[in-house]
Chain A
């Protein structure tokens, strides 16, 4: 190639010349085609056979397919519901929406609790104190070796054997624990609280901007301005000032015993509490293992280098080890979060009305088996997909940036 112009054909990588498919068993392409046609045909035949049977059976049982039943009156009694619901007038549609909300209510809280508890236990397993490490190991081994359903039944039985409201355990006369579940005091929410909350959000944004500026200053001058006092002043000060200026409203709705049950306050039903405790403690054991292996995956040299730079143990953990460990931790953590969501369906065994439980009742009452199962699948696939998408985004954000 001494000439000034290069043959353009040499500049593009050329694919192998396309061979025409021959109708012979010795041609791999032909074989692949035949196999695919056969397998797809087989699967299609099975699906067709099953759906033909199903439609015949449905016709024989006089069940109309379709989602018209959603607007019919449900009549399912629902114990706890985040939205107004009355079995006498509400529809199947709203019952199913309540199922979704109840699932989310338990799954989201369980994810947060299990992450906190699991991280603490995972770090405890690596503690220099032999006793702490042993207790953490025993916790992990024990909780992972038992079926979740058994644990849920155990917690539920335990909460049910508590004394009744009259003899309930109490914490300072404000929080009550009885066989009706937890009763907590509730703050009477007023506009001042909303404004204070808004102030908190503004303060959080301001803190973030300030810490960004601090990082820039540190990069430029080597001296890092104090961030923590400013952050505390902003995050506590702004909401507090707003709250005081607007008259400092502070009235609480305390639960009080009237007759055989409590009035007022907020409730955690025994079903919800048992499910939440069971799910969180069980998942925490798995989270602990993930956190431990993540921290252990950071090479010892990182600790030593940080110590050589004069960082404290806490600083090393926060600024050096955890950011690197997170890359190992996030993918398995994602699948644990998905597991929590799916495991929350065990609620049906202890009578907490989640997606599966309400769908099952609906399906028994209306006979709409296909619609009920489709509803369950769509809801869980949607939740799984959103968790995966969020975690993948987070994972990409913290991933190591390479050349």
Chain B
């Protein structure tokens, strides 16, 4: 979940940029065949890579079954797939099930609404990633977008049919759990991080330390179990909160503890003089924190914050264990249908592609950002 970042260190083992030296032949001599051992390794690995690639192309494309006919009773006739089993992929399962995997049990005619929500989420991520928008207004953009998403998912207004939370599912659930989790955990995490750094309020510091260490010491699975079995006990009789909301609360509490540690690192990295200068100017604690400390401290930790967010995005898949219908659960349910039971691999590959696209884009972004910020700082 955490990655180590390394700033400004030179790379001792990297050879000179070989492409600058001219022809690809020279490059290959330097990077693939520079000794007997290296040549042998290159040949063996190269052979394995080529064989693997050929196998993937044959299985995934040449021998693959792309669609199957439907029987009279509405079930799919998978005999073509079963015949190809082992030599070719059965992408027909995706063709048949992609709406279910993406949107779960959301009413079929209304599925344009979660589709728009997915687009809104992606737009929100992109806007948040652009440095032009890194100011106070971003909070309003988040508030507006998340409200719009809520309205679209629930409906019940503007002539849209009301859809209860039980029928939500698929990718929107994954995005909701991670994004709403971040949106609510972040302010809480800032408060906890400030509390943990506080010297004036030892009792508050104590509470924050206990909270962070307790949450970070136990696995998320146990928190989710707690949310599904203990929350009903915590509440007065007659009040029952929805399963999705309970999981969301568990994820918020979990995320806040981890984010608080990241933010605390930023607070610690900020030179002491900043706070002292603010004190000398006569700013109050909250003025100092909101105008001097946080803007600088948060900027310092944006790359690890993105990495933490990637972690949460992956961790939301754990709600499968308490039976919430996220992307992974939808995929798993899709293959529980008798006709498709033996084509789990294909489903898992597609799910992997969806998760990987999101995570890889975010991690690429985080690394580029880190480089840029480092360059700006080391001037």
Q: Name A's B-contacting residues (CB within 8 A).
A: 28, 32, 35-36, 39-40, 43, 50, 53-54, 56-58, 60, 126-132, 135, 141-142, 144-150, 153-154, 157-158, 161, 286, 289-290, 293-300, 302-303, 328, 332, 335, 339, 342-343, 345-346, 348-349, 356, 360, 363, 369-370, 372-373, 376-377, 380-381, 384-385
Contact = CB atoms under 8 A, between A and B. Distances in A.
B233 A380 contact: no
15 contacts: A36-B201, A36-B204, A53-B234, A54-B233, A129-B41, A142-B356, A144-B363, A150-B348, A153-B348, A157-B344, A158-B345, A290-B4, A296-B9, A296-B12, A372-B229
Contact of B348 (A28, A126, A157): A157
A290 B5 CA distance: 9
B235 to A, nearest CB: 6
Query: From DSSP, what is the main secondary structure of chain A's interface residues?
Result: helix
B204 A39 contact: yes
A376 B218 contact: yes
Contact of A300 (B10, B49, B207, B332): B10
A303 B12 contact: yes
6 nearest interchain CB pairs? A130-B31, A342-B219, A145-B359, A345-B219, A147-B314, A147-B317
Given A153-B348, A295-B13, 4 more contacts: A43-B207, A296-B6, A377-B214, A380-B222
Contacts of A295: 12-13
Given A131-B46, A373-B226, A373-B230, A146 B355 contact: yes
Nearest to B11: A296
B68 interface: no
Contacts of A39: 201, 203-204, 207
B123 interface: no
B360 interface: yes
Contacts of B3: 286, 289
Q: A36, A145, A290: which has the most chain B beta carbons within 10 Å?
A: A145
Nearest to A381: B217
B348 A131 contact: no
B301 interface: no
A131 B41 contact: yes
Nearest to B307: A144
Contact of A376 (B4, B222, B234): B222
A289 B342 CA distance: 36
A46 to B, nearest CB: 10
A60 B6 CA distance: 56
Interface string B343-374: 01100100110011001100100000000000
Interface string B226-251: 10011011111100000000000000
B233 A360 contact: no
A381 B31 CA distance: 48
A286 B214 CA distance: 24
A265 to B, nearest CB: 28
B208 to A, nearest CB: 10
A255 B278 CA distance: 74
Contacts of A332: 2, 4
Contacts of A57: 232-233, 237
Given A141-B360, A161-B342, A370 B230 contact: yes
B221 interface: yes
Nearest to A335: B2
Contacts of B328: 147, 149-150, 153
Given A57-B233, A293-B6, A40 B13 contact: no
A95 to B, nearest CB: 17
Interface in B180-218: 200-204, 207, 214, 217-218
A128 B31 contact: yes
B320 interface: yes
A373 B222 contact: yes
Given A53-B236, A54-B233, A161-B342, A130 B201 contact: no
Contacts of B10: 296, 299-300
B254 to A, nearest CB: 11
Contacts of A36: 201-204
B333 interface: no
A56 B232 CA distance: 12
A391 to B, nearest CB: 15
B237 A56 contact: yes
Given A57-B233, A150-B352, A377 B318 contact: no
A158 B230 CA distance: 35
Given A129-B32, A147-B328, A32 B200 contact: yes
Contacts of B345: 154, 157-158, 161
A179 B173 CA distance: 33
Nearest to A138: B49
A343 B348 CA distance: 20
Nearest to A156: B344
Contacts of B214: 377, 381
Contacts of B11: 296
Contacts of A43: 207
B351 A150 contact: yes
A54 B233 CA distance: 5
A339 B311 CA distance: 12
B320 A149 contact: yes
A102 to B, nearest CB: 14
Contact of A128 (B5, B13, B221, B342): B13
A112 B6 CA distance: 25
B348 A154 contact: yes
Contacts of A56: 236-237
Contact of B234 (A28, A50, A161): A50
B62 interface: no
A396 B275 CA distance: 32
